[in-house]
Amino acid sequence: MTQKTAIVTGAARGIGLATTRQFLARGHRVAMIDRDAAALAEAAEGLDGVLPVVCDVSDPDAVAAMTAEAAGAFGRIDALVNNAGVADFGPIEATDFARWREVMATNLDGVFLCSQAAIPHLRETRGAIVNIASISGLRASTLRVAYGTSKAAVIHLTMQQAAELGEYGIRANCVAPGPVRTKLAMAVHSPQIIAAYHDAIPLNRYGSEDEIASVITFLCSEAASYVTGQTIASDGGFQATGVGLP
């Protein structure tokens, strides 16, 4: 049987590393992509079937080289998970343009660039794209102008991809996680925000990396063969409540 493969960006830690492990458990080979070379080397150590590639997803040349390396090493690409992301907490009046551009460069340009580079390979396998947005892309708050806008754009880009690529058998879906205790979230979540999330989320807790990764790998699998253009919130019920973001 053909061994399937996936490219996972932001794979050195957090949700990307959990997704890598779940793909490996399903028998995939995985190209682990991250710009943090030291963290990537540490994460890849001892994992069988991975190809770690240091790459900044906002750099078009690096993305082209990374995709060629993964396709060359594996001979095929069945799934692309656009997970690399940076957090930002700031209202419009306190966000300078350089920071706005930085957030867009990784969270939005990175999804565009990695998808564009992978599409010729995904056409050959009738593969799948999963983009990682956030509940911050579904709800406005007073604090997340750059992050929330970048994630809302990722949700739209996913629908765009589904509309354009369906004729090649490529599916594109999006996962909008609620809060997960990763380095990204814990850098910006104060004790007050953590308590407010616990109150606002019907399941009264943060999610785990594995709970997000299992939705991602499901969407890449045959079990989701008729699902495309969707955004699935994996958020303990937060999106269902209508309560404002903490």
* Closer by beta carbon to ligand NAD, 24 or else 168: 24
Q: Is 57 in the site for ligand NAD (CB under 6 A)?
A: yes
Do residues 19 and 213 touch, judged by C-beta distance below 8 A? yes
187 contact partners, CB below 8 Å, separation of at least 6: 87
Shortest Å, Cβ 169 to ligand NAD: 26
226 is catalytic: no
Determine the Cα–Cα distance for residues 216 and 80; give it in Å rounded to an integer. 10
Q: Please say which residue, 84 or 104, places its beta carbon nearer to ligand NAD.
A: 84
* R_g over Cα of the chain: 17
Which residues lie below 8 Å from residue 42, measured CB to CB, with a gap of 6+? 12
Binding residue for ligand NAD, selected from 80, 180, 224, 233, defined by CB under 6 A: 180
* Smallest distance from ligand NAD to CB 226, Å: 25
CB of 186 to ligand NAD, least distance (A): 8
- Quick check: 179 binds ligand NAD (CB under 6 A)? yes
Give the DSSP H or E segment for 233.
strand 231-234
Residue 58 binding ligand NAD, by CB under 6 A:
yes
Distance of alpha carbon 115 from alpha carbon 181, whole angstroms? 27
Task: Kindly state the smallest distance separating residue 127's Cβ from ligand NAD, in Å.
Answer: 20
Q: Does residue 56 interact with ligand NAD by CB under 6 A?
A: yes
Q: Describe the chain by its helix, strand, coil percentages, rounded to 5.
A: 50, 15, 30
For the chain, the straight-line distance linking the first and the last C-alpha, in angstroms and rounded, comes to: 48
Residues in 62-101 that interact with ligand NAD by CB under 6 A: 83-86
User: Should residue 109 be labelled a site residue for ligand NAD when binding is judged by CB under 6 A?
Assistant: no
Residues involved in catalysis: 147
Residues in contact with ligand NAD by CB under 6 A are: 9-10, 12-16, 34-36, 39, 56-58, 83-86, 106, 110, 132, 134, 177, 179-180, 182-185
